[in-house]
Amino acid sequence: MSKNKQIGNLKMPIIGLGANIEQSENSITPRTFKGQDLCTFDCSSIPNIINKFIIRCQEQLADILKTYNTCLEQIKTLNESGMVSNSDYSQFFNTNQLQSNIGTSKERLKHFEKYQNIINRLEYPKNASFLVKKYQCRSDQTILEYTFNSNNLHFNIEQFNSFLLDFDDGFEQNSSIGSSKKSGSKKSNRSEKKQQFFTKKLLHPLEIMMLNQAIAEVNNNSKPVVTNIFARNDDGQIKYSDNNEPEVHAIVLYKLDNMSGEILVIDPNNSTFSNHLATGFSNILLSNTGENSNQLVAPNHIIKIYSPLEGKKTGPNNDQSRDCIDIAVKLVDEIINMEEGLNDPRKLAEWQPIIHISNNDVIDSSIILDLEQNKLPLRNKQSSDQNIRKSFCNIQNNVQILLNMLLKINLESYDEYLNKYASVLFNTDDHKAMSQFLDELKHNISTNTNSIVDNIKLCVLEGQKSSDEIIEISGEVE
């Protein structure tokens, strides 16, 4: 018999303890992975939950219409009796906020009723399930990941995709939430932009159930969690991989360190992959199908925290990039060990946990090599050991400073050490080799600097340099 273990507000029988999926081709989550807990639920309840929500929306709209019609009758009576002038009567219709609210409510209800139609047409197995995985990092912190159970991963995905095609073109495009600027540009637009209400990346029933549980966990324990969503095409359809499996994508949910109660969606790769979770439609849907009132928010400009090397498969080897689950888990480990929280989602790219993990040189200016050109995965920055990550970041900062110094005093030596630096990063996942490289670089700079000082002294003694030239050379060394 399996024992039940309480995690948050879920009771789950523990299975598969001691599993190690670091060597799996599909995932490279940390070797510190401990096991996975199975949580079952009855999916047949989803249509009922959605239908009750739609009924409430319809009732609220009816109340607004009733209030509006009452106001309309009253203003007509006042106009007919001469107590309201014709100009004021016309102005009422031109500026009436209630009338505007009715139009907005009708439009939104139309979206929800179309979504209801999809939900009601899907087939629901009674024992669909999702998983809650546990990771024990070296910081002695437990990190939870909410993910799909492979046994029911195909559950009505094809139906869901086909029903999306029945929609008309009256929906807003989903590819432009926030700035259209790319994060590769240092001129990313960070101005405040209003989030869209609706996109065609509609939440799948499994995502609704899982996101509500993950949000509840964030609320209960005030710690970020990793949760999975389905990867989407621009038309909203769920992607399929080359082996015909629905694609999943890991994200982090983090409760902002302010009084708003907002939960930030942190995407380990590209914020456009998951910012549809923060639309008004998704938020209303989640808050009415679960017990959570938290608003999900997303960055209002594109942020690319980690990008795998182009044309390379992810995997556990030194020359391979990491996958989204691995990066998400490392981000949570960084966040829960960070003394200072984040209270403004606009400053996400400037937050230390993001800088420490990121392989984007726009986010981390200490990255001085073109990682794509040199085919460098830079795996040291995302080690399972936080001490190694911290040590590597310190070494990286020092190497950047020293190489900039070397560039000023000896170009030939600079090129030599830049190539050596790339070689060290490519051939090892061990930060000790980086330490040795740093020591050698310090020695080289010291030798070069002493050599220049000796030459200046020699020039002075021989009277071959004017005082102005000596000052100029000394300034370069400084």
Enumerate the domain spans of the chain.
Answer: 4-44+124-376, 46-89+96-121, 387-477
Picking from 393, 356, 377, the residue whose alpha carbon sits closest to that of residue 313 is: 377
Neighbours of 361 (CB within 10 A): 15
The strand pair at 142-148 and 225-230 is best described as parallel
417 has a pLDDT exceeding 50: yes
Residues 351-371 have a mean pLDDT of 93
Q: How far apart are CA 260 and CA 6, in angstroms?
A: 28
What stretches of 281-375 adopt beta strand conformation (E)?
Answer: 296-297
Phi, psi of 402 (to 5 degrees): -70, -40
Task: List the helix and strand counts (H, then E) for the chain.
Answer: 13, 9
Confidence category of residue 467, pLDDT binned at 50, 70, 90: very low
Residues 230-255 have a mean pLDDT of 92
What stretches of 330-383 adopt beta strand conformation (E)?
Answer: none
CB within 8 Å of 182: residues ≥ 6 apart: 188, 302, 304
**What SS3 class is residue 312?**
coil
What stretches of 268-378 adopt beta strand conformation (E)?
Answer: 296-297
250 has a pLDDT exceeding 60: yes
Report DSSP state, residue 238: B
Is the separation of the CB atoms in 282 and 207 below 8 Å? no
Q: How far apart are CA 17 and CA 260, in angstroms?
A: 38
Q: What is the CA radius of gyration of the chain?
A: 29
What percent of the chain has pLDDT above 90? 25
**What SS3 class is residue 229?**
strand
Residues 378-383 have a mean pLDDT of 86
DSSP for 382-420? G-SSHHHHHHHHHHHHHHHHHHHHHHHH-HHHHHHHHHH
Please give the residue that has the higher pLDDT: either 356 or 72: 356
**pLDDT per residue as tens digits for the range 124-138:** 877 788 888 888 776
